[in-house]
Amino acid sequence: MSDIAVAVISYNTRDHLRRCLASVTEDGGREVVVADNGSTDGSIAMVGREFPTAVVVLDESNPGYGGAANTAIAKCRSSYVLLLNSDTILSRGTLDALRRYLDEHPRAAIVGPRLRNPDGTLQRSIHQFPTPLVTLLDYSWLGPLVGVVPGLRKLYLASASHQRGRAVPWVTGAALAIRKSAFDAVGGFDPSFFMYYEEVDLSYRLFRAGWETHFTPSADVTHVGGASTSQQRAPMYAQQIAAAMQYSKRHHSPFAVRRTALALRFGLACRLAGDTARLSMARDSTRRRRLEGNIASLRSMLRGQWRLPAR
């Protein structure tokens, strides 16, 4: 059986990182690399004090998720690497289950475990490759609607069952078990995706090279979600929209890019309408300020100002 290392990407999430590394240790993780993008919250000192066997790679320039992941994975000696967000917690047996799955599926370059919310509910993590239609469903109220209509549910993979292992287009990047030889063969993550869509782009390039991405419910990982990005919610949402356009421009025709832009604008308009309605009913001053900030950001994005400072 091949060995599996663990690489964790960290940015100002000390307490989440502590819980993540504790769960890795409890699950038998022996080779652990932490790639930190310039945390100022004491994360580095905590790792050195409480997890002294972990290798820490610090890059204060904050190269983004993909760039940090490339550096961390390059430091790993094992054939497989479980790449984790710092706000994840492994259940017992996760490492063995993912290692076994990769051993048994030699064409799988990436395997995503089943993700759980902190309350134990399912966090949907199976996705289709983006197209203008999929983007429309992902960024508007149409996706949840399609997901509950029996005749239309099959059109939207995010609403599919998460009870069986199988090949899928891509899985949420909070926890990815990676076959290092395949990862290296396609050049790893494209670091020009600062944050968001880096795992989508990687899975698509692996697919084009003849590899597969899989999902397995044989391992459960709790994912808090947004531990780093919630610190700059509006800029990070703008970054996500910009990354969606970046992916489309990279892999789609000019006509499809225009349709993707329309789909994103529709989604932004839906979100703006919802937040405007919520603002009209909000009485709490803190909630009102948050909604006012969201509305200003959404209006800027609708005017095409999608790439806000992310560093």
- The 10s digit of each residue's pLDDT in 16-58 is 999 999 999 999 999 999 999 999 999 999 999 999 999 999 9
Pair (285, 249) in one structural domain:
yes
Pair (172, 289) in one structural domain:
no
pLDDT of res. 202: 98
Q: How big is the chain, counted in residues?
A: 311
Tell me if 95 is assigned to some domain: yes
The answer to whether residue 114 scores a pLDDT higher than 90 is yes
pLDDT category of residue 297 using cuts at 50, 70 and 90: confident
pLDDT of res. 226: 60
Pair (182, 248) in one structural domain:
no
Tell me if 78 is assigned to some domain: yes
pLDDT of res. 311: 40
Tell me if 144 is assigned to some domain: no
Pair (166, 253) in one structural domain:
no
Pair (167, 273) in one structural domain:
no
Task: Please say which residue of 184, 204, 223 terminates a domain.
Answer: 223
The answer to whether residue 1 scores a pLDDT higher than 60 is no
Pair (57, 109) in one structural domain:
yes
Task: Please say which residue of 223, 252, 273 terminates a domain.
Answer: 223
pLDDT category of residue 306 using cuts at 50, 70 and 90: low
pLDDT of res. 8: 98
Tell me if 307 is assigned to some domain: no
Tell me if 254 is assigned to some domain: yes
Mean pLDDT of 275-288: 92
Task: Please say which residue of 223, 239, 260 terminates a domain.
Answer: 223
pLDDT of res. 40: 93
pLDDT category of residue 308 using cuts at 50, 70 and 90: very low
Q: What is the mean pLDDT of the chain?
A: 91
Mean pLDDT of 233-255: 90
Q: How many domains does the chain have?
A: 2
Tell me if 146 is assigned to some domain: no
Q: Which of 196-210, 235-249, 261-275 has the highest mean pLDDT?
A: 196-210
Tell me if 310 is assigned to some domain: no
pLDDT of res. 147: 72
pLDDT of res. 107: 97
Pair (106, 196) in one structural domain:
yes
pLDDT of res. 174: 96
The answer to whether residue 218 scores a pLDDT higher than 60 is yes
Share of the chain above pLDDT 70, in %: 94
pLDDT category of residue 309 using cuts at 50, 70 and 90: very low
Mean pLDDT of 128-157: 83
Tell me if 97 is assigned to some domain: yes
Q: What is the largest CA-CA distance in the chain?
A: 59
Domain residue limits at 266: 229-302
Pair (180, 252) in one structural domain:
no
Pair (268, 215) in one structural domain:
no
Pair (267, 175) in one structural domain:
no
- CATH number at 38 reads 3.90.550.10
Pair (58, 173) in one structural domain:
yes
pLDDT of res. 180: 97
Which two three-digit tokens encode residue 279? 């603002």
Share of the chain above pLDDT 90, in %: 75
Query: Which segment of 134-143, 185-194, 199-208 scores lowest on mean pLDDT?
Result: 134-143
Convert the chain into a string of H (helix), E (strand) and C (coil). Answer: CCCEEEEEEECCCHHHHHHHHHHHHHCCCCCEEEEECCCCCCHHHHHHHHCCCCEEEECCCCCCHHHHHHHHHHHCCCCEEEEEECCEEECCCHHHHHHHHHHHCCCEEEEEEEEECCCCCEECCEECCCCHHHHHHHCCCHHHHHHHCCCCHHHCHHHCCCCCCEEECEECCCEEEEEHHHHHHCCCCCCCCCCCCHHHHHHHHHHHCCCEEEEEEEEEEEECCCCCHHHHHHHHHHHHHHHHHHHHHHHCCHHHHHHHHHHHHHHHHHHHHHHHHHHHHCCCHHHHHHHHHHHHHHHHHHCCCCCCCCC
Pair (172, 280) in one structural domain:
no
